[in-house]
Structure 1
Amino acid sequence: MDFALIMFVLLLITGGLWLLDRILLQRRRNESAKEPWWVEYSKSFFPVILVVFLLRSFLVEPFKIPSGSMIPTLQVGDFILVNKFAYGIRLPIIGKKLIQVNSPSRGDVMVFHYPENPSLDYIKRVVGLPGDHIRYRNKKLFVNDVVQEQRPEGDYNYVETALNFVHTERFREMLTVQGHAILVNPDAPNIHLGAVAEFPHRENCTYSEEEVSCKVPAGHYFMLGDNRDNSRDSRYWGFVPDNMIVGKAFMIWMNFGDLKRIGLSID
């Protein structure tokens, strides 16, 4: 069950019990009588749950990185903070946008509800905006037919959770002025065609062994993982609609395995 929904239900229960006692049961109770335990607990927990619910719904929400699809930008075990109002104020749980603030930009690291299973939250990098033509060909990203420069930064080796040693090459991809780090495995295929799913607006994309080419529909975004050959992203499950956006990742607040990562900004 969605955590925000759980918080909302608890908010209704504790607030309802507190209100019930205040307007009805309290009058029937002897002045010297002690409050029932469930009233005492409701009065104690309701303000705390309310503050947490409002903070997580409208300001900042924490997430944990469970996989290596965003290495080297994000490591497995990173606990990150996500700005919930960066792209607009939305109603909790249903996600309906009330106030438009900003729109996602190319290069943003964004959290969103996974289109194939909206109960899961995913994190990837925005590479395609509504109306963009995105091509990923021979490990190179093209945006509106312009190849995005990749500046070599040497080898990058890491160990997966199953203790598999992975060798990749690290590049700085200049999707934005400052760019961002990506990993490319030269021995991996350009795309695993058998893993491509059916998805809304699938007709906007064409596939071959060398490339995937997509026209991003209105109100949608094309997402890629920074660990390009170890990421299941828009190349495989399609576009992220605006109503599934959660927020913009901006900081690592904890990593129990590497305390030096605490406080790092997410670029």
Structure 2
Amino acid sequence: MDFDFSAILLGLTVLFGVVWGLDRLLLYRRRKARLDAAGAEYRDPVPVDWARSLFPVVFVVLLLRSFVAEPFRIPSGSMMPTLDVGDFILVNKFAYGLRLPAFNTKFLDLGEPKRGDVVVFRFPGYLCRDASGKLTRVGGDENGPPRLGPGDRCPADALPVQSQNWIKRVIGLPGDTIEVRDSQIVINGKAVPSDELGPYVGNPQRAEDAELLYYGASIWTEHLPGADGKTVNHLVARMPARMSTNAIPNELVPSKVPQGCYLVMGDDRENSLDSRWWGCLPEKNLAGKAFLIWFSWRGLHTGFVDWKRIGTLIH
């Protein structure tokens, strides 16, 4: 999800507003007087007419997407079975405070993430060490971390990927002590309980389902300790035969979550590049809280629209 539509909307809003505003301030009166004197019907020039017509539309869309709700499409299976590839979701943009569009700078604090929230965020890059041993963030994407040179643990010329939007579940809050061993999570000394529901059932013609079926995935209900003593019950997929995952703590991820950061994980536990691999999620990178699946597309050859998922609240 690396298409920054908010930046485009902001740019168009500024462009249309400047064209329309400057015309009204500098050119409109003289042009109208000239046409009135000639007895001609007044019409704005085409660029001005387009700017005048489109500015309020683009401005309203920008406000809604930036401060109310923004749509996203799920591109990968890292959040299965909660969110599937092809799900179109809505994200609450004011759950964690209001942020400037495109820049993502918070100017009004309205709350912070709670354990168990499904959050959309700007991918902060991978956390690694340079030749001097200093921790720094470097680029990468959902295909894996950046390639490191021989004897080097951090490429000097790599840059963070700030434009990509990722989605994961909040597992650790600032100040929490977290331990992760494969699918077992321990939060502040207490193991997170879970119940096995049975084997994963899916369509083998879909690549995402085929992988889970091939590795004998099972579905579990995980009971995360949430806010105010409440428990967040949600589904996770486990397929330990696929690969071993990074444990927490590790060389780059401490057991105690730093202030201003969150540990996040995907619900498809063996198929998610998350905090176990690239470190904590800085608070400044948060974009909002996912809350609704409003459409779900399965593809031309694998069922078209998944009607039963439409309208599903995200937990």
TM more than 0.5 = yes
Pair 1:254 & 2:295 matched: yes
**CA offsets per residue over residues 199-256 of structure 1, 9 Å max, x none?**
xxxxx9426xxxx863211000000000000111000011111100000000001113
Aligned to 1:25: 27
Aligned to 1:201: none
The answer to whether the 8 Å contact 1:128/1:221 transfers is yes
Aligned to 2:219: 170
Q: How far apart are residue 144 of structure 1 and its match? A: 1.3
RMSD of aligned alpha carbons: 1.9
2:97 aligns with one of 62, 82, 88: 88
In structure 2, the CA distance between the partners of 1:162 and 1:188, relative to structure 1 (3 Å rule), is closer
Q: How far apart are residue 89 of structure 1 and its match? A: 1.5
Aligned to 1:121: 165
Q: What CA distance in whole angstroms lies between the structure 1 residues aligned with 2:119 and 2:94?
A: 12
Q: What CA distance in whole angstroms lies between the structure 2 residues aligned with 1:231 and 1:157?
A: 19
In structure 2, the CA distance between the partners of 1:65 and 1:39, relative to structure 1 (3 Å rule), is same
Structure number with larger C-alpha Rg:
2
SS of 1:98's partner is: strand
* Runs of 5+ unmatched residues, structure 2: 126-160, 226-230, 298-304
Q: What CA distance in whole angstroms lies between the structure 1 residues aligned with 2:246 and 2:281?
A: 20
In structure 2, the CA distance between the partners of 1:165 and 1:112, relative to structure 1 (3 Å rule), is closer
* Runs of 5+ unmatched residues, structure 1: 194-203
Q: How far apart are residue 139 of structure 1 and its match? A: 1.9
SS of 1:86's partner is: coil
Q: What pairs up with 1:170-189 in 2 under 5 angstroms?
A: 170-176=219-225, 177-189=231-243
Q: How far apart are residue 192 of structure 1 and its match? A: 5.6
TM-score, normalised with respect to structure 2: 0.76
TM-score, normalised with respect to structure 1: 0.89
Count matched residues. 253
Percentage of pairs with the same residue: 44
Q: What CA distance in whole angstroms lies between the structure 1 residues aligned with 2:208 and 2:245?
A: 23
The answer to whether the 8 Å contact 1:65/1:74 transfers is yes
1:4 aligns with one of 3, 6, 15: 6
Q: How far apart are residue 20 of structure 1 and its match? A: 1.6
**Residue identity in the other structure for 2:75:** P
SS of 1:248's partner is: strand
Aligned to 2:145: none
In structure 2, the CA distance between the partners of 1:149 and 1:44, relative to structure 1 (3 Å rule), is same
